[in-house]
Amino acid sequence: MTTVGAPTLDEVAVLAGVSRATVSRVVNGSPRVSPEARQAVQAAVDTLRYVPNRMARSLVTRRTGTIALVLSESDTQIFSDPFFASIVRGLSAHLADTELHLVLLAARDAREQEKIGRYVRQGHVDGVILMSLHGDDLLPDILARTHVPVVLSGRPLDGRAVSFVDADNAGGARAATRHLLDQGRRRVATITGPLDMVAGQDRYAGYRDALEGHGRAVDADLVVEGDFTEDGGLRAMATLLERAPDVDAVFAASDPMAVGALQALRAAGRRVPDDVAVVGFDDAAVARACDPPLTTVAQPLEDMTRLLLELLLRRIEDGDDAVESRVCETRLVRRASA
């Protein structure tokens, strides 16, 4: 028994003068161990710097102690979205005092998605949280075949039966648009998200709802599709100003796009909110920092990440396939831009 590699349970057992079984019990915090034995084992663990071998443990427990957040985005662009960063932060925070680890997996194309599928099927993780689904996304199907619990961040596009947690995107967009209409704005435009994404669709639907609720028709000139990025927002606003110079309000489906719109408006010499009112979505940090500060729609990120984890962990624990989902209320945050 040389001490070349990492120390094993046996070595600890020998040093502590007990059996492997007892060491295992101590390491796993079983109550059925005498104080003396426990202490001897602890000492041995410390002097040997023993760390259980995860592979060996997983082989018998069928648990890895890690869950994956998988991002399926053609571009690596998603990284720059503050919403994504918030989700990561929220999940990490909730996991902080558990022994569950969070790993991020990114797939840019179909090949990488297949690779992630293999990774999951091979048993590297206990469950996965899936984010950012475009219309043509293969991952839900790939993962469904793995029999590993999955919960989506965001409603699935095709209404399939999976667990998910989402914000009330339509409701938030409706509130935002209504806020603009209630101010007496006559030409309320929108910069939508990508319309092959649910969040893009739902926020656009909310915009339409609000308009129709005020007895207005949707004017195609006032709708431009964006891509959730600041740069996309800038370009979209420029297009809008060209197509409809009389625009006096705009609902951008994300804060970065709203910030981009702000820049385009400044470049065009329009004052915000006097000439054009702007509302964003997400209540990202940038919404507070920009000039003027953005009126925006806040999502309860704390709650959403907690629910995401609750749903996933319950499915992992119980091993059932019950699908369950939650939709969280949004809140309009009024600042200077509208």
Partner DNA sequence: AGGACTCGTGGAAACGCTTCCACGACCGCT
Partner DNA sequence: AGCGGTCGTGGAAGCGTTTCCACGAGTCCT
For binding to DNA (CB under 7 A), which residues are involved?
Answer: 5-6, 8-10, 17-22, 24-25, 27-28, 31-34, 36-38, 50, 52-53, 56-57, 59-61
- Count of beta carbons in the 10 Å neighbourhood of residue 249: 25
Nearest alpha-carbon partner for 85 in 246, 305, 264, 273: 305
Q: Residue 24, interface with its own copies (CB under 8 A)?
A: no
Q: Residue 104, interface with its own copies (CB under 8 A)?
A: yes
Nearest alpha-carbon partner for 83 in 219, 255, 231: 255
Q: Residue 194, interface with its own copies (CB under 8 A)?
A: no
In whole angstroms, give the CA distance from residue 37 to residue 17.
9
In whole angstroms, give the CA distance from residue 320 to residue 149.
9
Residue closer to DNA by CB (options 18, 210) is 18
In whole angstroms, give the CA distance from residue 117 to residue 22.
38
Q: Contact at 8 Å (CB) between 150 and 163?
A: yes
Which one of residues 43, 80, 135, 136 is an interface residue with its own copies (CB under 8 A)? Answer: 80
- Site residues for its own copies, window 223-252 (CB under 8 A)? 231
Q: Contact at 8 Å (CB) between 71 and 107?
A: yes
Q: Shortest Cβ distance from residue 131 to DNA (Å)?
A: 30
Residue closer to its own copies by CB (options 13, 70) is 70
Residue closer to DNA by CB (options 27, 218) is 27
Q: Contact at 8 Å (CB) between 243 and 265?
A: no
Segment lying near its own copies (by CB under 8 A), choices 46-54, 133-141, 211-219, 273-281: 46-54
Q: Shortest Cβ distance from residue 148 to DNA (Å)?
A: 15
Residue closer to DNA by CB (options 6, 267) is 6
Q: Residue 56, interface with its own copies (CB under 8 A)?
A: yes
Q: Shortest Cβ distance from residue 124 to DNA (Å)?
A: 14
- ∠ CA(101), CA(104), CA(109), 5° rounding? 155
